[in-house]
Structure 1
Amino acid sequence: MSVLPLVFTSGWASGINAYAVILLLGVFGATGLTDEVPEALQRTDVLVVAGVLFLCEAVADKIPYVDSAWDTVHTVVRPVAGAVVAALLAGESGSLPELVAGAVGGSTALMSHLVKAGTRMAVNTSPEPFSNIGVSLAEDLGVAGIITFAVFHPVAAAVVAAVLLLLGLVTVVFLSSRVRRFLRRRAQRREERRPAVEGAPRPPG
């Protein structure tokens, strides 16, 4: 059977939490729940690193503004992780060229990452921190649920991931005014932190 549905779903999930995807797939493979996971993701060192980074993300992702800074750093990390995981899955199954799988996984991860980052910017316009925690928990549970579902029902999980991606894109468009407000606030804070040099006396010369 083609591994494309699992590639697509893992790409979507990697755009939200790449470390959780690597950790879950590695555990499922190491425990024998699926034969689709390559040995590279089942290695103990990979699982340990993914677990530590997952815990770091679990904390940073629930703190207002820290979550957006974390997302900025991971604009490259998540798509690359999605592409690598997809290519490894394709190489394990042999039913899909690794280059094609990497392109699908990476591009899907990039789109879902942009949805996540945009949604978080909108949420950060709210003065209270509880919305960040709620959204982060929903994302963590969603990734865990969709990856688990994909291991046993890859086609159905891919359909769910596609619907969630589409809904996410529509939501970000709907929240675009809040995103722009967040960006204005961040630019204003940078200006306030920047030392005033216009009124500083010129050095004698």
Structure 2
Amino acid sequence: MSGVELLALAASTSLLAGWRLYLVTFVTGLAMRLGWIDLPDKLVALDVLANPWVLVLSGAAALFEFFADKIAFIDSLWDGIHTAIRPLGGALLALAIVDPGDPVWQVSAFLLGGGAAFLSHAGKAATRVMVNTSPEPVSNMIVSTGEDVATAGLLALAIANPVAAALIALILVLASLWLILSARRFVRRLVS
């Protein structure tokens, strides 16, 4: 992978970590382990995500998150707890993908990765505030399943074509901003 592709992969995985941190960590590590992500020789030391322990822990957490996300009140609690965890996880994912020998890349990846994960998490949580207030449980499950499918699809695209995935990630950043502002207006109307 070229430097541009690695940066695009870091951006995409960070953004997706704001939705499904554990699934993204698991799939990225599995892709590294199976050789789907071709790391340059100088980055082979970064295959920490491919460590069997990391794969088992992130896989188990992804499975738990899959079910927790389908129940409205548990989902809201889960999102609240992960407001700090997902941005940090997104920052660390970006850091694990870029060149470890260049401090400028490290700091840039960490800051941008954390910011992207926070923004997508905020968009997800803002959307869920609106969906979870619905009296029927079906809408939450539909939205959650849509997030699962979108995360898996975009992650597959990020592995196959990181630059295209980064462009889609940019569109998602703009959509997240719109969702945050919409949720803010929605909450204001509820309070008023």
Q: Does TM, scored on the shorter chain, surpass 0.5? A: yes
Taking structure 1 as reference, are residues 138 and 94 closer, same or farther at Cα in structure 2, changes over 3 Å only?
farther
CA distance in 2, matches of 1:179, 1:113: 17
Between the aligned residues of both structures, percent identity stands at 38
Q: Which residue of 2 aligns with 1:40?
A: 48
CA distance in 1, matches of 2:100, 2:156: 18
Measured after TM superposition, the shift of residue 175 of structure 1 is 3.5
Deviations 1:108-165 (A, max 9, x none): 0000010011110010121111111111111111111111101121111011111122
SS in 2 for 1:175: helix
Report the number of matched residues: 183
Q: Which residue of 2 aligns with 1:70?
A: 78
Which ranges in structure 1 are unaligned for 5 or more consecutive residues? 185-205
Pick from 25, 29, 32: which aligns with 2:32?
29
8 Å contact from structure 1 (residues 125, 181) kept in 2: no
SS in 2 for 1:128: coil
8 Å contact from structure 1 (residues 125, 178) kept in 2: no
Pick from 151, 159, 163: which aligns with 2:171?
163
Q: Which residue of 2 aligns with 1:15?
A: 18
CA distance in 1, matches of 2:25, 2:11: 14
8 Å contact from structure 1 (residues 4, 96) kept in 2: no
Taking structure 1 as reference, are residues 158 and 11 closer, same or farther at Cα in structure 2, changes over 3 Å only?
same
Which ranges in structure 2 are unaligned for 5 or more consecutive residues? none
Compute the RMSD of aligned alpha carbons: 2.0
TM (norm. structure 2) is: 0.88
Measured after TM superposition, the shift of residue 172 of structure 1 is 3.1
Supply the AA of the counterpart residue of 1:142: A
8 Å contact from structure 1 (residues 118, 179) kept in 2: no
8 Å contact from structure 2 (residues 100, 106) kept in 1: no
Report 1 or 2 for greater relative contact order, CA contacts < 8 Å, sequence distance ≥ 6: 2
Measured after TM superposition, the shift of residue 180 of structure 1 is 4.4
Supply the AA of the counterpart residue of 1:144: A
CA distance in 1, matches of 2:67, 2:143: 13
Pick from 106, 128, 137: which aligns with 1:98?
106
**Structure 1 stretches of 4+ moved >6 Å:** 92-96
CA distance in 1, matches of 2:141, 2:104: 38
Larger radius of gyration: 1
Q: Which residue of 2 aligns with 1:120?
A: 128
Structure with a larger share of its residues in helix: 2
TM (norm. structure 1) is: 0.83
Measured after TM superposition, the shift of residue 94 of structure 1 is 6.6
CA distance in 1, matches of 2:189, 2:54: 39
